Amino acid sequence: MSSKGGAGRGRPRLTVEITEGAFRVTCGAKSLTIFPEPDLPGAAAPADFVVRLDEVLTWDPPHEDSEVEVEDLQRIAAGITAECERRGLTVAFE
């Protein structure tokens, strides 16, 4: 099952799935695999996943020449958050 990010202003629908060890994001023909990091050291409440958004720069091949735009990154973060909440998991973004 997948979570839908907000469809906005002519942008393709964005979906997020949690696969074994990664988040799989699809937006139209483009896809992105995000591997979460270990929990933040010294975090007040440990998160199930930590995603470093500054490391999400380009889409997966064959679209590796396309940068992930700020608006898409916001939609990706919202989609990851929604999918984690749906599954009773927590995510932290860095």
Domain boundaries, the chain: 3-93
Nearest to 16 by CA among 63, 56, 64, 66: 56
* pLDDT confidence band for 45 (50 / 70 / 90): confident
Q: Which residue, among 6, 18, 87, 93, has the nearest Cα to 55 in the 3D structure? A: 93
More confident residue, 2 or 87: 87
**What integer pLDDT is reported at residue 60 of this predicted model?**
97
- Rounded Cα distance, 79 and 77, in Å: 5
The pLDDT tens digits for 47-62 are: 899 999 999 999 999 9
For position 6, what pLDDT does the model report? Answer: 45
Does 83 have pLDDT greater than 50? yes
Beta strands in the chain (DSSP E): 3-4, 14-19, 22-27, 30-34, 49-51, 91-93
17, HSE (Cβ side, Cα atoms, 13 Å): 9
The pLDDT value recorded for residue 21 is 85
Tokens matching residue 18:
């949690």
Mean pLDDT of 31-48: 84
Model pLDDT, residue 75: 96
The one-character DSSP state at 58 is B
